[in-house]
Amino acid sequence: MFSTNSKSPKEWKEETNLEKIDTLIGDNVSIDGNISSTGTVRLDCSVVGNVSGDGLIVGESGSITGDIECSEILIDKSSVIGNIKCKNITISGKVEGDVKCKGTLKLTNTASLTGDVEVGKLVIDNGAFFKGLCAMIDKSKDMNLNIDDMNSKAEILDVNNNEEKELPIK
């Protein structure tokens, strides 16, 4: 669950096919609206709206206020306020919102994540900040990436009565 031998964002980017950028939007642009794309998009701009597509890199000068639904995501020392659904994500910047990640969620040493997560695998580097609840995905079940269904249940054993109880996680 915790790793000290972790890869840099560059190494992760190469593994997840984020190396080839199909679209680049620079830091002198401000977008007020949704973005939908195929291929990998690098945003070094300010976006107020939802973003969906195959791959997304939010550059150091980029920020997104809105929900994101992409297969592969790299948030590189930038800011995102909104919920995220993805296959894999590496966060080196600041995220405020819930994250549903079917594969690996990695928080680098410069990451700050405030929100609940549902993940297949969680990697937190020394120095990263995480405030929220974490639910691990059961790999034997198919995952439905629906942000509205983030509430789940945890089973605990009541040692006084020797019985299991289900508690809602909020």
SS3 assignment for 34-53 = CEECCCEEEECCEEECCEEE
User: In the prediction, which pLDDT does 156 show?
Assistant: 44
Strand pairing of 99-107 and 88-91? parallel
- In this predicted model, which residue has the larger pLDDT, 164 or 88? 88
- Is residue 35 within 8 Å of 58, Cβ to Cβ? no
Flag whether 86 is in a domain: yes
Flag whether 3 is in a domain: no
Flag whether 107 is in a domain: yes
Flag whether 2 is in a domain: no
User: In the prediction, which pLDDT does 150 show?
Assistant: 45
Flag whether 20 is in a domain: yes
Q: What is the pLDDT of residues 51-104, one digit of tens each?
A: 999 999 999 999 999 999 999 999 999 999 999 999 999 999 999 999 999 999
- In this predicted model, which residue has the larger pLDDT, 110 or 12? 110
Q: What is the pLDDT of residues 92-143, one digit of tens each?
A: 999 999 999 999 999 999 999 999 999 999 999 999 999 999 999 876 555 4
User: In the prediction, which pLDDT does 121 show?
Assistant: 95
Q: Which residue has the tokens 């984020």?
A: 18
- H/E stretch holding 110: none
pLDDT band, very low/low/confident/very high, at 144 (cuts 50, 70, 90): low
Q: Give me the amino acid identity at 26.
A: G
Strand pairing of 163-169 and 152-158? antiparallel
User: In the prediction, which pLDDT does 54 show?
Assistant: 94
- Is residue 54 within 8 Å of 39, Cβ to Cβ? yes
What residue numbers bound the domain in which 162 lies? 9-140+149-169
Q: How many structural domains is the chain composed of?
A: 1
3-state secondary structure of 81: strand
Q: How many CB atoms lie within 10 A of CB 24?
A: 13
